Amino acid sequence: MRNVELARCFRDLAAYLEMEDVPFKPRAYEKAALAIESYDRPLAEVYRDGGAKALRAIPGIGASMADKLEELIKTGKCALREQYHARMPVELATLTAIEGIGPKAVKVLYEKLAVRTVEDLEAAVRAGKVRSLPHFGERSEQKMLKALAFLRTTGGRQPLAVTLPIVEQIAAALARLPGVERVAVAGSVRRRKETIGDADLLVVARKGDAVVQAFVTLPQVERVLGQGRTKSSVKLAGGLQVDLRVVPAESFGAALCYFTGSKSHNVALRQLAIKQRLKLNEYGLFRGARRLAGRTEEEIYARLGLAYVPPELREDQGEIEAARSGALPQLIEPGALRGDLQTQTDWTDGADSMEAMAREAKRLGLEYIAITDHTQGLTMTGGSDETKLRKQMAEIDGLNARLGGIRVLRGAEVNIDKDGMLDIDDETLAALDVVGIAVHSHFDLPRAEMTRRIVRAMRNPNADILFHPTGRKIQKREAYDVDMDAIIATARETGTVLELDAYPDRLDLKDEHVRKAVQAGVPIVIDSDAHSVKHLAFPRQYGVDQARRGWATAADVLNTRPGDAFLAALKGGRQAAAGSRNRRARNRARTPRS
């Protein structure tokens, strides 16, 4: 059993326990699931080498959890989960993935309406049966309809973070084949679009048909959709379609350009070629029958009188004009990031300790990391109140005294309540190095109210960064209805930084909002939102790409600056080195609390 499957079982147990109102345990199982999922080695291997004792040594795994893991690894089953499932045979994972449906709702829906699957739920909602249930009503029925409709619109596409590792694995397998000279990922994956319809791969090889034959027999392939001498389409076990084309070396650049797209970028390029009495297609750039360019993308762009356009910009959003006039931005590179401003630890709903997070950040080459655990308003995470925050600050001071080569900043992810107030007092906020503010509740306020609420919170002089500004979760939850132009204008006016949360199902700000922020001169930060050490890699894996799609340069991204310069650029221009306690004295207690 793989770690993800073990974690899934623990999540199911957490849900069943919550249905029964068992205190504390559901959260413990949730956290254990996170720890399992993000553990470095397969637990099956850990068990094989060290037995149950080694499992118990994993942080967050208690004795009875270790027993369940042992049972799962040995038998592939967990008796307790089977018992629960026999009593309530529902598809927990898919049902609870629907926004607004938690374990308790699943229980009621099953007991009253025999809902077991998403399809059952949809039928029940359409038949108007849900509104009459206790605690449901017409409003939640409307919400469910919306969530179900949203689920359908995502049909067929997969998040980039799901696709990218699979595609890279296949590309690597192809590169190992004898006679293969080049392999390239094209299409929306190369452009790093947030969701992927299908994956497109190109290969240069001496014998095309041999490569195609090897491709269709890869172990990941479930079904062959089409197979020719130089191209093939397959469906993988996880549902992803992969298109492969074998192209001659002298056309490689032209093919790469064509199959990278986007379609509208291609159309615009071709128009430009036609104006110059040239012909552009996937074989090359031609004048009559003569090939002027084709071996590399660079020579094609150059022959068209354009600077090289990075794939992330190829969306026909002004990049061709910019490439012609020398106005393309110097896009940010992953290595430019020096800090991470949003991380959660085992002080709330994270899996790892502050020290483990700091050490991993250091290993990744970061210079600073802010610990931003949740605050009290988010009860289910065990969020901090002022006292707990003060205690954590003191521990961070101790950590800094002990650790070298990484600076740990004292932060928090503070809740914005329904009216735009923060759930920590201003004096405590002023003592922190970095204050992130975030919406975690009341997602369905009308646009004007939601906007007013967030704007009000941004006006708090202690609020440094607006975390995940739109609250969307890719393919899970729509962004809340908010006027982003107003948010960006307020950011500019108040000096509040906007975050690009690089957690792969968020990517929030998304590309178009990054671009708007950049155009308005509003700085952003790219953070991990890590809930375990594994997640600290997200900014460089996914965040920077999204920022690049938004035309961001390193100068637009505040956490490319060294720690002191970063802190000095925050609202109130604090000098943390001079001691954060007095740095914001002037800001203290100026916001009204209701």
Kindly tell me which residue out of 26, 103, 208, 261 binds ligand DGT, with binding defined by CB under 6 A. 261
* Minimum gap (Å) between residue 213 Cβ and ligand DGT: 23
Q: Alpha helices of 495-557 — where are they, by DSSP H?
A: 511-520, 538, 544-549
In single-letter form, the type of residue at position 576 comes to A
Q: Pick what 344 binds: ligand DGT, Ca ion, Zn ion, none; C-beta below 5 to 8 Å, kind-dependent.
A: Zn ion
Q: Is 194 in the site for Ca ion (CB under 5 A)?
A: no
Find the part of the chain contacting Ca ion (CB under 5 A) among 1-9, 188-196, 419-427, 453-461.
188-196
Task: Tell me the C-alpha distance between 587 and 340, whole Å.
Answer: 24
Give whichever of 196 and 507 is closer to ligand DGT, judged by the CB atom: 196
* Minimum gap (Å) between residue 435 Cβ and ligand DGT: 38
Residues 6+ apart with CB under 8 A from 544: 332, 333, 334, 336, 337, 502, 526
Task: Tell me the C-alpha distance between 85 and 254, whole Å.
Answer: 54
* Minimum gap (Å) between residue 576 Cβ and ligand DGT: 43
* Minimum gap (Å) between residue 189 Cβ and ligand DGT: 7
* Minimum gap (Å) between residue 189 Cβ and Ca ion: 7
Kindly tell me which residue out of 3, 96, 266, 496 binds ligand DGT, with binding defined by CB under 6 A. 266
Q: Pick what 262 binds: Zn ion, ligand DGT, Ca ion, none; C-beta below 5 to 8 Å, kind-dependent.
A: ligand DGT
Q: Is 590 in the site for ligand DGT (CB under 6 A)?
A: no
Kindly tell me which residue out of 349, 352, 423, 499 binds Zn ion, with binding defined by CB under 5 A. 349
Count interface residues toward ligand DGT (CB under 6 A): 14
Kindly tell me which residue out of 232, 251, 344, 392 binds Zn ion, with binding defined by CB under 5 A. 344
Give whichever of 23 and 155 is closer to Ca ion, judged by the CB atom: 155
Task: Tell me the C-alpha distance between 308 and 297, whole Å.
Answer: 8
Kindly tell me which residue out of 42, 197, 248, 334 binds ligand DGT, with binding defined by CB under 6 A. 197
Q: Is 259 in the site for ligand DGT (CB under 6 A)?
A: yes
Task: Tell me the C-alpha distance between 92 and 116, whole Å.
Answer: 8
Kindly tell me which residue out of 18, 30, 243, 373 binds Ca ion, with binding defined by CB under 5 A. 243
Q: Is 96 in the site for ligand DGT (CB under 6 A)?
A: no
- The residue nearest Ca ion at its CB is 187
Q: Pick what 349 binds: Ca ion, ligand DGT, Zn ion, none; C-beta below 5 to 8 Å, kind-dependent.
A: Zn ion
Kindly tell me which residue out of 74, 206, 263, 590 binds ligand DGT, with binding defined by CB under 6 A. 263
Please report where in the chains the tokens 């002089």 appear, as a residue.
Answer: 461
Find the part of the chain contacting ligand DGT (CB under 6 A) among 58-66, 77-85, 260-268, 452-460.
260-268
CA distances from 231 to 204, 209, 314, 321 (A): 12, 8, 24, 34
Q: Is 261 in the site for Ca ion (CB under 5 A)?
A: no
> What 3-state class would DSSP assign to 123?
helix
Site string for ligand DGT, 33-72 (x = CB under 6 A): ----------------------------------------
Number of residues in the chain:
594
Find the part of the chain contacting ligand DGT (CB under 6 A) among 217-225, 256-264, 364-372, 488-496.
256-264
* Minimum gap (Å) between residue 340 Cβ and Zn ion: 14
Radius of gyration of the chain (CA): 26
Residues 6+ apart with CB under 8 A from 203: 174, 180, 182, 183, 184, 211, 244, 245, 246, 247
CA distances from 406 to 72, 278, 395, 496, 544 (A): 39, 55, 15, 25, 21
Kindly tell me which residue out of 17, 161, 196, 378 binds ligand DGT, with binding defined by CB under 6 A. 196
Give whichever of 42 and 382 is closer to Zn ion, judged by the CB atom: 382
Q: Alpha helices of 57-207 — where are they, by DSSP H?
A: 63-75, 79-87, 92-96, 103-113, 118-126, 137-153, 160-175, 187-191
* Minimum gap (Å) between residue 243 Cβ and ligand DGT: 6
Task: Tell me the C-alpha distance between 346 and 442, whole Å.
Answer: 26
Find the part of the chain contacting Zn ion (CB under 5 A) among 261-269, 343-351, 484-492, 584-592.
343-351
Give whichever of 281 and 494 is closer to Ca ion, judged by the CB atom: 281
Tokens of residue 180, six digits: 């293969």
Find the part of the chain contacting ligand DGT (CB under 6 A) among 212-220, 259-267, 365-373, 503-511.
259-267
What does the DSSP 8-state code read for residue 441?
S
Task: Tell me the C-alpha distance between 411 and 429, whole Å.
Answer: 9
Q: Residues 91, 94, 96, CA angle at the centre, nearest 5°?
A: 95
Q: Is 37 in the site for Ca ion (CB under 5 A)?
A: no
Q: Is 317 in the site for ligand DGT (CB under 6 A)?
A: no
Among residues 445, 532, 522, 448, which one has the least CA distance to residue 489?
522
Say how many C-beta atoms besides its own lie within 10 A of residue 578's C-beta.
11
Q: Decide: 188 and 196 in contact? Cβ < 8 Å.
A: yes
Count interface residues toward Ca ion (CB under 5 A): 5
Q: Is 187 in the site for Ca ion (CB under 5 A)?
A: yes
Query: Judging by DSSP bridges, how do beta strands 195-196 and 158-159 pair with one another?
Result: antiparallel
Kindly tell me which residue out of 4, 225, 267, 327 binds ligand DGT, with binding defined by CB under 6 A. 267
Kindly tell me which residue out of 122, 200, 349, 529 binds Ca ion, with binding defined by CB under 5 A. 200
Give whichever of 211 and 257 is closer to ligand DGT, judged by the CB atom: 257
Q: Decide: 559 and 341 in contact? Cβ < 8 Å.
A: yes
Residues 6+ apart with CB under 8 A from 366: 337, 338, 339, 340, 406, 536
Residues 6+ apart with CB under 8 A from 165: none
Q: Decide: 340 and 367 in contact? Cβ < 8 Å.
A: no
Give whichever of 29 and 47 is closer to Zn ion, judged by the CB atom: 29
Kindly tell me which residue out of 91, 99, 198, 385 binds Ca ion, with binding defined by CB under 5 A. 198
Q: Is 343 in the site for Zn ion (CB under 5 A)?
A: no
Question: Strand pairing partners for 278?
Answer: none
**Positions in the binding site for Ca ion (CB under 5 A):** 187-188, 198, 200, 243
**Positions in the binding site for Zn ion (CB under 5 A):** 344, 349
**Positions in the binding site for ligand DGT (CB under 6 A):** 187-188, 193, 196-198, 200, 258-259, 261-263, 266-267
